[in-house]
Amino acid sequence: MFDGVVLGVDPGLAMTGLAVLRSANGHPQLDWSDTVRTPGGMAEPLRLRRVYGAVRDALDRHRAAVVAVERVMWGRNVGSALSVARATGVVLLAAADAGVPVEEYAPLEAKMAVTGVGNAAKDQVRRALVGMHGLGAVPVQPDAADAVAVALCHLQQSKMRELMRGSARPQRVARS
């Protein structure tokens, strides 16, 4: 398991979930969570700036070593997916401006890491965060709870991703 501080983000234009998990010696702890809300009547660039500012503030305040973002899934509602993609873009920009690396995880990956089931419902994810993983004060608000889940997913999966990247590199063969 990754030891350090991770900012989990469930991006969205109307609501973005944020959560900071800290792990030491393989024991995750929820330090903070929040939901950034932007009013529907506000111009989209201003809403995106609000998301950017909240992510930068969280990075500055909690000194995260990495940002774990739930990857946008393109489904039937292309308009909604486009708004989520734009929010994801400002999250990536905020992390880049802060010099913090980003890892993206599909919703299925996060649900599998937390519950063992890829199609788990939001309430199952929250119950597993508390019951199976022993995280206290998991937010009831779904976007913030999803941010906790993606952060925990990173804590669990990051070492495996590192190993996979390392094994994908071409190996030099010594000539005789």
Starting at the earlier edge strand, list the strands of the sheet with 15-24: 27-37, 15-24, 4-10, 66-70, 102-105
Q: Running DSSP on this structure, what letter comes out for residue 71?
A: P
Q: Running DSSP on this structure, what letter comes out for residue 63?
A: -
pLDDT digits (tens, 9 = 90+) for 38-73: 999 999 999 999 999 999 999 999 999 999 999 987
Other beta carbons less than 10 A from residue 57's beta carbon:
14
Q: What percent of the chain has pLDDT over 70?
A: 84
Q: Which two tokens stand for residue 165?
A: 């990247």
Residue matched to tokens 């030891």 = 3
pLDDT for residue 139 = 83
CA–CA separation, 51 and 35 (whole Å): 10
Other beta carbons less than 10 A from residue 102's beta carbon:
16
The residues that are catalytic are 10, 70, 143
Other beta carbons less than 10 A from residue 63's beta carbon:
13
pLDDT digits (tens, 9 = 90+) for 90-109: 999 999 999 999 999 998 88
Question: Is the confidence at residue 171, as pLDDT, over 60?
Answer: no
Question: Is the confidence at residue 122, as pLDDT, over 70?
Answer: yes
CA–CA separation, 147 and 107 (whole Å): 11
